[in-house]
Amino acid sequence: MPRSLIALVLCAGFGPSAEPFLKAPSPEQLTRQLGAPEFATREQASESLRALGAAALPAVQRATTSDDPEIRRRALALLPAIQARIAFTPVGSLSIRGRSRSPQPWTHFASKPATS
């Protein structure tokens, strides 16, 4: 493979223009997109925020007081869905002080065979 082709491939993959494609929008950016002029952009932002769940909650809560009525309406509609998702997150996927908990906490209390 010619050296110039290898250099081109490496530059194309790691150049500054590749950065926007690798970086996901933040919850704050997504809440601003809730007021975008394009319907598809607003819908995609709503779905992305819903998928983020707990990570999007603070930004969505702030968006409920936005001056933009579309952002405010969509944020108010998203809030219960995100809160429900958090409430129904399995205990096993939660982390306490960096340690994850057992998905079946009752196994800790399982009876041990009796010794005679």
Q: Which CATH architecture has domain 25-86?
A: Alpha Horseshoe (1.25)
| Alpha-carbon span 38 to 26, nearest angstrom | 19
- 80-116 per-position pLDDT tens digit: 999 988 888 776 655 544 454 555 555 555 555 556 5
**What is the predicted pLDDT for the residue at 87?**
84
- Work out the average pLDDT over 43-54: 93
Quote the pTM value.
0.60
Mean pLDDT estimate for the chain:
76
Cβ 70 vs Cβ 41: under 8 Å: no
Sequence spans of domains, the chain = 25-86
